[in-house]
């Protein structure tokens, strides 16, 4: 019997695809955002708002990640924006290779921004670099105030944090100050937006931030 020391990074293959994606996007001057949140936190509703408000000023496409069904892509296609559905068929997250191939099918020369709506999940999507410029963590006020502490990796890596469904606050016992404090225990610097896709409150500020994202090398 022999013991062998190795150092073999298990993310290597995924990270290679992610690097290729970054090069591809840089070549076209496109910013890509990776939107991550629980199922039902309002990711698709926010993208519908994005389509309604910005489709004339910003050239963007959405890659919809889901385990099953093209329902979300259909919802967004009604808004006349470019949308591709990525089905993971059981996998709880998107991986870089799938995203890379989906990007190659988009008319990249005509785009400024790609938003990837990741599979609804706070754990696994945070693990996989898909070549994005920024991860955006989304948490709705119908979840728990302590979620940022329970899912530290996502909130640590997020370049922006969204607290959604704020229109429901009067009906809930959700302590938004405690939630914000918990987010700050994980991530001190990233901008935090409190918003509601239903009332429209706070949405403009977030979209302004999103449209001003610039490629950084």
Partner 1 sequence: MHEFSLCHTLVEKMLEEAEKLTPPSVRVTKTVLACGRLRQIVPEYLQAAYEALTQGTIAENSILEIREIPIVGRCSACGREGELDMSEGFICPKCAAPVSEMISGRELFLEQMEIEQDETD
- Residue pair 120/64 in contact (Cβ under 8 Å)? The answer is no
7 binds partner 1 (CB under 8 A): yes
Positions 165 through 184 that interact with partner 1 (CB under 8 A):
182, 184
| Residue count, binding to partner 1 (CB under 8 A) | 32
Q: Does 87 bind partner 1 (CB under 8 A)?
A: no
- Tell which one of 24, 45, 54, 124 touches partner 1 (CB under 8 A): 124
Per-residue tokens: 63: 């890659």
Q: Give the Cα separation of 181 and 177 in Å (integer).
A: 6
Interaction of residue 93 with partner 1, rule CB under 8 A: yes
Rounded to a whole number of angstroms, the minimum distance from the CB of residue 156 to partner 1 is 7
* CA 96 and chain centroid, separation: 14
Residue 12 CB-half CA count within 13 A: 4
CA dist 213 and 194 (Å) reads 19
Residues 6+ apart with CB under 8 A from 102: 63, 84, 86
State yes or no: residue 11 binds partner 1 (CB under 8 A): yes
Tell the residue number behind the tokens 């939630």, with chain if given: 179
> Using the rule CB under 8 A, which residue among 5, 89, 171, 214 binds partner 1?
5
Which of 104, 172, 185, 201: binder of partner 1 (CB under 8 A)? 185
**Mask of contacts with partner 1, 57-86, x by CB under 8 A?**
------------------------------
């Amino acid at each position: 019997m022999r013991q062998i020391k190795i150092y073999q990074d298990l993310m290597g293959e995924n990270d290679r695809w992610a690097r290729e994606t970054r090069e591809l996007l840089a070549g076209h001057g496109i910013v890509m955002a990776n939107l991550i949140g629980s199922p039902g936190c309002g990711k698709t509703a926010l993208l519908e708002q994005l389509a309604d408000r910005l489709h004339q000023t910003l050239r963007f496409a959405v890659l919809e990640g889901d385990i099953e069904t093209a329902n979300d892509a259909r919802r967004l296609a009604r808004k006349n924006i470019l949308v591709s559905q990525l089905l993971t068929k059981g996998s709880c997250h998107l991986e870089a290779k799938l995203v890379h191939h989906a990007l190659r099918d988009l008319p990249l020369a005509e785009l400024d921004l790609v938003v990837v709506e990741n599979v609804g999940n706070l754990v696994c999507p945070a693990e996989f670099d898909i070549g994005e410029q920024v991860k955006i963590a989304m948490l709705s006020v119908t979840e728990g105030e302590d979620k940022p502490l329970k899912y530290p990796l996502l909130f640590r890596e997020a370049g922006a944090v969204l607290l959604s469904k704020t229109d429901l606050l009067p009906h809930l016992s959700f302590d938004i100050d405690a939630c914000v404090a918990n987010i700050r225990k994980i991530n001190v610097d990233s901008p935090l937006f409190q918003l509601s896709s239903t009332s429209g409150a706070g949405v403009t500020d977030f979209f302004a931030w999103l449209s001003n994202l610039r490629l950084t090398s």
